[in-house]
Amino acid sequence: MIHLFKKGESRTRPTLLLLHGTGGNEEDLVPLAEIFDKKASILSVRGNVIENGMPRFFKRLSEGVFDEESLLSETKNLYEFIHEAAEKYEFDVNNVVALGYSNGANIAASLLYHYQAVFKGALLHHPMVPLRNKELPDLSGIPIFIGAGENDPLCPSEESKELQQTFEKAGAQVTVEWNNHGHSLTQKEIMAAAEWYSKHFN
């Protein structure tokens, strides 16, 4: 997978896995990661799927309707890639925190749905429920931040609430930051996420 890796100053800090939104690339979330943790390593990945010239992490059938076959295969591909990268770049695969926005948050959520202990924590900005009728692995003690929009046209508030409930049922510690700026990633949401990160990982 096309990606960039930036080695952090401290081996004990988490590695931040950055997953961009539709049409983004591996450079998009790097400034955000540096706000959260200047000493962390960064593994930023570009989505494998192209939709109308725009990189994504999996295919969709229409706006808000996921291609489940693509979601499942690309979730597995990304999981395997994280492990390959950990070996190549010598970071601790058990100390990875996901940072995803929109489509990137969706595949990060899918990884949490499918693999136990895949992340030490996750920051999911404007995610949707990746799959329904899926029994999650035990997520006990895993902190998850969800940035949600009360008036998000792409990700209705009901999706955020359902995702929160599903994660909590699996044992995760979920914090939801609500805003009323649609699907955009606001400074207020970023600062709330940074404060949450500092509380859990510093």
Residue 73 annotated as catalytic: no
Contact 178, 159 (CB under 8 A): no
Residue 152 annotated as catalytic: yes
* Dist CA 142 CA 96 (whole Å): 12
* Dist CA 134 CA 27 (whole Å): 32
Residue 183 annotated as catalytic: yes
- Residue pointed to by tokens 């929160």: 164
From the list 44, 102, 110, 160, the catalytic residue is: 102
From the list 3, 92, 181, 183, the catalytic residue is: 183
From the list 41, 110, 152, 160, the catalytic residue is: 152
Please state at what angle helix 68-89 crosses helix 103-114, rounded to 10 degrees. Answer: 80
* Dist CA 130 CA 71 (whole Å): 8
In the structure encoding, which two tokens stand for residue 200, read together? Answer: 């859990």
Residues designated as active site: 102, 152, 183
